[in-house]
Amino acid sequence: MKTIAIVGTFDSKGEEFLFLKKEIEKNNIRTITIDIGIKGPAFFTPDIQAKEVAAYAGKDIDELLNQKKPALCMEAEAEGIQILMKKLVAEHRIDGMIGMGGGQGSSVLRCAVSVLPVGMPKMIVSTMAMAGGKLFPGVNDTYLINSIVDFAGLNDILVSVIENAAGAICGMVRQEKQPKMCKGPKIAASMFGKTTPCVEQVRKILEQDGYEFYPFHANGMGGQAMEDMITTGFFDGVADITTVELLQDLIIPGTGCSQRVEAAGKIGIPQIVVPGAMDNINVFDGMKNQFPGRRFKKHNAEIWTMRSNVEENCKVGKILADKLNLAKGKTVLMLPLRGLSMISGDGMELNDREADEALFRTLKENVSDKIEIVEIDAHINDPKFAEALCKQIENIVPKNRE
């Protein structure tokens, strides 16, 4: 029989949680109810009390409450729930987790799901779900479900939301899963429309060679997902072909991903890094007039491609170099000297050799000796570059390591 952990504040949202529990159990699935509410007694007797959750973190809730420190209480719950969830997973006592919460509760739930293995069904029903990755960073494969209405009594909308959520989490833990078989070393790669020919070619070669290939879309969110997945230790190496999210975030903060090109270096797995697509960023139509005198190309109805200039490329080159220098593992910086994406290179619409060279120069001047630099006299989307890149991968992520 499968078991689902139910986590939340059973004091303020007790009625809703009791209904959720019944909806799950009618699928013939067991529940473990875990209270994280500190404002009053639970509406029903939980399997694990809020007090016990805090105790996992060595904290005494009653003492903190007596000191009138509600913020510290929530911190104790957040810390304790992580230890508890890890324990439940290690002891094979749960097959999935579901939580519901408003602003405060959601932040503890975020901690709870963060320690669950990738692939294990996990769900947060929240009034804040539509904020997406902005408020729920790092919850890669957590189902963020919009509660639509506030948790303030069971009305028809909330009943329907909870019924569906119960059905979904039960369906997920029930779904028979294929055994995942490791067929070869796992390589993460970053891609974008404008570097797709390169990434597709790399994929073809590496898959033929017996590697497993995982492309992430460098749209700000995909890059963040890649960093998060790298951190879990899932990958054996990284082909970071499209690092444009750093440039995007530098020029228009919040639209790219400033945390890119960090995880591989931190956990010390080998990486190939290319300043791919660092010759342009996306600019929404409404923001175009904030960049007078710049070179643009229409991407679609809402988005313009803007050519990066010398100044921006020097800045982003320094940022990237600094990140590479922190890497603990083998790091190769590959420079496609004849152009960084589909929009720039000999004869291409937004070609700017001076800006490209400023980027290459800044990178070369700022990376430390332990970074290997490989310059290829080809455009990034030239098969020659992809072939050279795959040779490097084969060097630093040997196939027989598995």
Q: Report the site for a second copy in 214-273 (rule: CB under 8 A).
A: 214-217, 219, 221-222, 224-225, 229, 234
Instruction: Find the shortest distance in angstroms from Cβ 310 to a second copy.
Output: 29
Residue 373 binding a second copy, by CB under 8 A? no
Number of residues that bind a second copy (CB under 8 A): 72
Residue 304 binding a second copy, by CB under 8 A? no
Instruction: Find the shortest distance in angstroms from Cβ 358 to a second copy.
Output: 30
Main-chain phi, psi angles of 209, to 5 degrees: -80, -5
Residue 102 binding a second copy, by CB under 8 A? yes
DSSP string, 108-157: HHHHHHHTSPTTS-EEEEETTGGGGGGTSTT-TT-EEEE--S-SSS--HH
Distances (CA, A) of 47 to 96, 170, 274, 340, 399: 16, 19, 51, 57, 47
Structure tokens, 378? 């080809």
Rounded CA-CA distance 284/299 in Å is: 10
Of the pair 214, 291, the CB lying nearest a second copy is at: 214
Q: Report the site for a second copy in 202-221 (rule: CB under 8 A).
A: 203, 207, 212-217, 219, 221
User: Who contacts 164 (Cβ-Cβ below 8 Å, separation ≥6)?
Assistant: none
Rounded CA-CA distance 85/5 in Å is: 9
C-alpha 258 chain-centroid distance: 12
Among 73, 81, 109, 166, binds a second copy (CB under 8 A): 166
Maximum alpha-carbon separation in the chain: 72
Q: Report the site for a second copy in 30-69 (rule: CB under 8 A).
A: none
Among 60, 148, 328, 368, binds a second copy (CB under 8 A): 148
Residue 153 binding a second copy, by CB under 8 A? yes
Candidate segments 78-86, 164-172, 287-295, 319-327, binder of a second copy by CB under 8 A: 164-172
Of the pair 118, 373, the CB lying nearest a second copy is at: 118
Residue 144 binding a second copy, by CB under 8 A? yes
Of the pair 41, 103, the CB lying nearest a second copy is at: 103
Residue 298 binding a second copy, by CB under 8 A? no
Residue 169 binding a second copy, by CB under 8 A? yes
User: Who contacts 386 (Cβ-Cβ below 8 Å, separation ≥6)?
Assistant: 198, 201, 202, 205
Structure tokens, 296? 């643009």
Of the pair 177, 401, the CB lying nearest a second copy is at: 177
Q: Report the site for a second copy in 114-133 (rule: CB under 8 A).
A: 118-119, 121, 127-133
Residue 176 binding a second copy, by CB under 8 A? yes
Q: How many CB atoms lie within 10 A of CB 114?
A: 19
